Amino acid sequence: MSYERPSPLTFTDRELFDLALAWIVLSVAFALLLAPVHLGLASPGHFAMMIALSFVTVGVAFLLHELAHKVVAVRFGQVAAFRADYQMLFLAIMSALIGFLFAAPGAVYHRGRITYRENGLISVAGPVTNLILAGFFFPVLVGTRVLEGPALLQQVGHMGVVINLFLAAFNMIPFGPLDGKSVLEWSKPVFAVTFATCAGLLALFYLEFGLPF
């Protein structure tokens, strides 16, 4: 019997459900972190707006991050699919409630013969995608500030940069299921350059622009 490798853009119903659930939970978690309505530091209306903005910006950052993993994995002959980690999704909400965010909602799992290099490239594809997305959102932020554009669009740009830089830096931590561990196992120089770039850009952006409250 012949076997036809699935397209990188083919998703099972289970995978689509897990992606949607992770997207929703991450959006709520980021909104709780940026607009802590439970602490009385944001109004319900502002919190609802932050959920909507997070749904857009987190959605782009999270979905394209995972899609990058999947596309590269399939490129190397892997059978790949995203699976949500329900315990980590619960932890994301709980951590956001106390003022920080542990964003590891799941991962693209793949199977097949693979080298350390290929596995490292699959892992680094996600953070690099987030860096590229931050580069797309940054002109939106700067342009709307310079031209005094709509405040909502300015906030979209701000959140787009912050969330993408945060996800890039966080995922490069060489711990547990995070991308940084596989990248470090493959190449210490690649890990060092990528981690320093992600963390450095996040720190610089925070010092210059702060958080998008």
Tell me the pLDDT of the chain averaged across its residues: 89
Residue 190: Cβ-neighbour burial (10 angstroms; 0-12, 13-18, 19+): middle
- What digits encode the pLDDT tens for the residues 50-63? 899 999 898 899 99
Whether residue 22 is contained in a domain is answered as: yes
pLDDT higher than 70, residue 5: no
Range 73-83 average pLDDT: 91
Domains held by the chain: number: 1
Whether residue 25 is contained in a domain is answered as: yes
State the Cα–Cα distance between residues 30 and 100, nearest whole angstrom: 9
Residue 181 CB contacts under 8 Å (≥ 6 apart), including other chains = 123, 174, 175
Query: Residue 150: its pLDDT value, please?
Result: 84
Going by pLDDT thresholds of 50, 70 and 90, the confidence category of residue 149 is confident
Residue with tokens 């596995």: 119
Query: Residue 104: its pLDDT value, please?
Result: 83
For the residues of the chain, what is the DSSP string, one character each? ----PPPTT---HHHHHHHHHHHHHHHHHHHHHHS-GGGTSS-HHHHHHHHHHHHHHHHHHHHHHHHHHHHHHHHTT-EEEEEE-HHHHHHHHHHHHTT------EEEEEES---HHHHHHHHHHHHHHHHHHHHHHHHHHHHHHHTT--HHHHHHHHHHHHHHHHHHHHHTS-STTSHHHHHHHH-HHHHHHHHHHHHHHHHHHHHHH----
pLDDT higher than 50, residue 1: no
Decide which of 1 and 8 is more confident.
8
- What digits encode the pLDDT tens for the residues 178-199? 899 999 999 999 999 999 999 9
Using a pLDDT cut of 90, give the percent of the chain over it: 60
Give the dihedral of Cα atoms 55, 57, 63, 65; nearest 10 deg: -150
Which active-site residues does the annotation give?
A: 66
pLDDT higher than 70, residue 8: no
- What digits encode the pLDDT tens for the residues 92-148? 999 999 888 888 889 899 888 889 999 999 999 999 999 999 999 999 998 888 877
User: Of how many residues is the chain composed?
Assistant: 213
Per the structure, the complete domain to which residue 67 belongs is given by 13-209
Q: pTM of the entire structure? A: 0.87
Query: Whose CA is closest to 62, among 100, 36, 89?
Result: 89
Whether residue 172 is contained in a domain is answered as: yes
Whether residue 128 is contained in a domain is answered as: yes
Whether residue 6 is contained in a domain is answered as: no
Going by pLDDT thresholds of 50, 70 and 90, the confidence category of residue 3 is very low
Going by pLDDT thresholds of 50, 70 and 90, the confidence category of residue 9 is low
